[in-house]
Each structure stands twice: as C-alpha cells, then as structure tokens.
Amino acid sequence: MSQQAPQKNLSAADIRARKGTAPLVCLTAYTTPVAQLADPHCDLVLVGDSVGMVLHGLPSTLDVTMEMMILHGRAATRGASRALVVVDMPFASYEESPAQAFRNAARLMAETGAGAVKLEGGRHMAETIRFLTDRGIPVMAHIGLTPQAVNAIGGYKVQGRGADADRIRADARAVEEAGAFAVVLEKVPAALADTITAEVDIPTVGIGASAGCDGQILVIDDMLGLFDAFKPKFVKRYAHLATDADRAIATYAKEVRARTFPAPEHIFADEGAAK
C-alpha cells in the first residue's frame, strides 16, 4: 500500500535558495480562509503586523501585541500547507536586547507553527538577527521604510533617495551577513532596489521598490480592494471587494426592507417538495 507523504511547507532555506531563480510570490494573510486562498499561489505568506491597521482599525502598527500576532499566526498557519509562513515580530517585542528578541521569536514560532519571523531594522538589528539565526530561528529582515519607526522617520516616506542610498545598502549587507534568509525592501527607489538585489546573495522582496527584486509582497487586503482607509501609491488593485461587498449588503438591506428576502418557510417548503 503506497501512502502519500503529507505535503510540507517551504522552508526558509528553500526561499533562500530561490535567489536568482523564479521570482518569489508573497502576500500577507491573517486568517485561515485568506491563507487558504493565498497558499496555492504563494511561496511565502506573511502574517504581517499590518493586521493591526487592516483588521483591527488601529492607526499604525505600533499598538500590535504578541497576543494578536499569535492569534493571527495560528489562524494563518492552519490555512497554509505549501507556502512558508512568516510571522512579524511586533513593535517593542525585540528591540530591547537579543535575549528579549529570542524569547519572543521562540514563542511566536512555538505557538503559531510558523517557519520564520520577520523583524524591522538594518545595521542596528544585525546583532539580534545573528543571535536568533545562531539559535535556530530563521529571520526575514525588513529595511527601507520600516513602519514601526514611523514616528522617528516622520511619516511613511520613500527611503534611500540620493546620498541616503548608501545607508540602505549598508543595512542590506548587514542583515545578509547576520544570517537573514531574505530581506524586504519597502519604499526605496527602483534603481537602489536593483543595486541591492545585485549586491546581496539573499532574496530581496520588494514592496513599492522594483520589479527587479527577487520577489514581491503586498498586503492582501490592499490588492483585493478590501482595505479602503488609504491606498499606498504603489499598490495595484487586482479586485474591488469592498465595492462588491457594499453592493451586496445594500441589495440585502433593500430586500429585507421590501420583505422580498426569501423567508425560511419558502426554503422549508422547497425541501419538502424535494423529499
């Protein structure tokens, strides 16, 4: 009797090995059904701390907690059987010390079943990335625009313009040397993203960066047109689900008010006829 081996999710090492081959397809997901939708098409599913803004109505990612990431991480891993699931480390869960970062990263991995964590920061986080990777925790780095630093940066601005490009290049090299298996480049000029992609041996995953990156990531609610509070300029809408949902709910409300909504007795009558 032949038994099929259960399908295994891609590992951080698999993603790392994709450098210079087929582009990596990455999306966020925070729930089981959405992870199930993304999984067949994606190499990597990120349980981003964008969940705070997209699902919880928070004004930024700064109020996202470990408990929120664990809850959503657990839900997303249930829906992904193929893609690598990466969980974001929330603000203030890793910056204090490598030991604090290890404690929280280990908890995120153990309690969600995810295959890796992501954290924001370049050179100043290199020691922490090294500490985690040396202890068996795969780390995806995130440089360029780092939304958890929005107050220090003074807004969600493009990073690495002009002379500032060298800072971002140094960040990319630092996280690579520290052992990150991939690096997100957010909101940096395309030429800079292309330079970094050529300079580092780990995959670059762009968001508002360049089509030349080794992969791309988007917040799924943005690309499906579900999150309408604001739209970053770089987001392409592949669907307009909020508009569709509004139309569907308006139709339902109209039918309820007009008493044309199918009443249970009609449904039960049909069931009787079918017997």
Residue corresponding to tokens 């249930």? 78
Token representation of residue 198: 């050529």
| CA dihedral angle for residue 109, residue 219, residue 41, residue 72, rounded to 10 degrees | 30
Which is the catalytic residue, given 111, 186, 199, 255?
A: 186
Quote the CA–CA distance of 35 and 42 in Å, as a whole number: 10
Determine the interface stretch with ligand KIV among 43-51, 67-75, 156-164, 173-181 (rule: CB under 6 A): 43-51
Residues numbered 17-36 forming contacts with ligand KIV, rule: CB under 6 A: 28
> Cβ closer to ligand KIV: 130 or 142?
142
> Cβ closer to ligand KIV: 117 or 217?
217
Does the protein bind ligand KIV through residue 141 (CB under 6 A)? no
Does the protein bind ligand KIV through residue 45 (CB under 6 A)? no
> Cβ closer to ligand KIV: 99 or 232?
232
Does the protein bind ligand KIV through residue 217 (CB under 6 A)? yes
Quote the CA–CA distance of 206 and 188 in Å, as a whole number: 9
**Smallest distance from the beta carbon of 56 to ligand KIV, in angstroms?**
13
Quote the CA–CA distance of 78 and 76 in Å, as a whole number: 5
* Catalytic residue flag (residue 96): no
Residues numbered 142-201 forming contacts with ligand KIV, rule: CB under 6 A: 142, 184
Determine the interface stretch with ligand KIV among 45-53, 187-195, 251-259, 261-269 (rule: CB under 6 A): 45-53
Token representation of residue 262: 């199918």
| CA dihedral angle for residue 101, residue 103, residue 109, residue 115, rounded to 10 degrees | 40
User: Could you give the C-alpha distances from 224 to 30, 71, 154, 202, in angstroms and in order?
Assistant: 14, 23, 28, 29
Chain positions contacting ligand KIV, by CB under 6 A: 28, 46, 48-50, 88, 142, 184, 207, 217, 219
State the catalytic residues.
186
